[in-house]
A and B are shown apart, each in its own frame.
Chain A
Amino acid sequence: MIDLSEKTAVITGAAQGIGLAITEKLAMNNAAVIIVDINKKLIDQRVEMLTSRGLNAAGYQADVTKSDQIEDIFKEISSTRGNIDILINNAGITRDGLLMKMKEEDWDLVLAINLKGTFICTQKVSRYMLKQRSGVIINIASVVGIMGNAGQANYAASKGGIIALTKSTAREFASRNIRVNAVAPGFIETEMTSILSEEVIKKYAEAIPLKRMGKPEDVADLCLFLASDLAKYITGQTIQVDGGLIM
C-alpha cells in the first residue's frame, strides 16, 4: 500500500488533463496537493471539487515561466506547511507546425513553458528539498522527446531537453536523497490531443501495441509509484507510459 500522508505535493499545470489526474491520484493516497496553474478559474473549481471529497487540496495561480511568481509560491508553501516533498513538472503546451514554416515565437513559447518552466520550478524548489535532505521531482516529458515527430520540432526539442535536464538534476541532487525522474507519456486523451481528428486518432491507436490511447490516469498511476517509497532506488530515469508505442 502506498501512503503519502504527511507529504506535500506541488503539481504544475494541474487544472486539467494529466496534471489534474496526477493531483487526484496523489490526494487519494493521502498527500496534501497544491495545484499551480495559469488558469485561475479552473484552479478554483478543481480545489473546490477535491476538497468537497474530503481531500487536502489548495491552488495558486502562476505562470511557470515567471521565476518570481514561482519563488513566492514555494516560499509560502514552505512557511505554511513545512516540507515540500514532491514536485511534478507537468505544465506544457504544443504549437505544432512544420519546421520550415515554424514561427520563432512558437519555438520560443514552447521551449519557455515546457523546458525553462521545468528548470525554474526545479531551481526554486531545490533550496527547500536540499535542506530537507529529501524530495521527489517528476518531470512530464513525452515519447516525442525520444523518437521525434514531424510537425513538432519545438515540442520534441523541449521534451528531449526535459529528459537531459532530468538526468543532470538527478546527478546533482542525488547526494541529498532527492530523486528526479521523467515520465514519457505516449498518446493520452486530453484537451491537448482533442484537436486531432478522429481519423488521425484512429491511425495512432492502430500503431499502439495495446491498441488504445492512454488515459490521464495511466500516467497518474506511474507518477504515484515514482513519488512513493516503492521507487526509492530509481533516479535519473525516463519511463514511458505509452501502451508499447515505442520500444
Chain B
Amino acid sequence: MIWDDPAPPLPTAPDGFFCRSLDVDAQRRDQAATFIAPAFVHGRPARRLWPVFQHAPHVPHLSLAPALRPEVAAAIARDLAQAAFAPHHHAAYRIDVCRRPAPGSVLGRFFTWLASAGAVTWIQALFGAPPSLRGLVPRQVQISRMVTGQGFAPHVDTLDDGVTVVFQFTRGYAAAHGGALAFVPAGTVPVIAVPPVFNTAFVFRPAGVRHTVTDVAADAPGPRYTITAFFLRPDPSNLDDK
C-alpha cells in the first residue's frame, strides 16, 4: 500500500470547517453583528472609509449613525438608566462612571465585547484593515454619565496612537442643553463639536488631542450617557502597564 502518493488528487471538498468556531474571523464578525448596525459590520466599501477618516479636518474622525442595532441601543439605554454610577475617582473629572455593569445585561455584554480582541477586529475591519491600525489592543472602556452641572474640562486622553470610539446614548438634547464633545486644540473655541445624539458613534484618533465636554444645562431632559472605548497601540516602553 502506498502511504504517500507523490501526486494525490485534491479532493473536491466544499470550503469551510466542520467546527465553525475555528474560523475566528467569522466568529468575531458574528459577535460584532450582535451589537453594531449591519452596515458597519458587513458594509462593503470599508476601504473607502479610511481616507475619509484620515483626511477629516482638524482631527481624523468619522461619525456612525445609527451605530448600533436599534434594539441593542434601546436595551443599553434602559440598562444605563438603572446602572450603578459613582463619581470619577479623579475629582477634577466632573463625571460619574459605572465600573461594573451587570454581567448578564446587554450593557454588560457590550462592555465585555468592547474590551475584547473581537472589538479591535471590528474597528480594523470597519476601515478595511489599513496597516496603520495594526497591533491595536482594547485599552479601556468607560461607561459615563453626566448630570446637570457636570462637564469635562479640556484634557488629552492619551499620547498613544490608535482609535477612540464614543457611543452616545443621550436622548432629546437640543444644542442649548450642552453635553457636546468639543475638540479644542487651544483655548476654549471648539473646531469640532459633536452633539449628544442617540445611537451615534464618534470615532477619532486620540493621540495628543485636546477635547472637552460642555456642561449639561439645568433644563436638560435627562443625563448624558456615553460609552467610550479606546483601542490603542501599547507603548512597549511601559512593561508594567496594566
**Do A and B share a complex?**
no
**A: which residues have CB within 8 A of B?**
none
**B: which residues have CB within 8 A of A?**
none
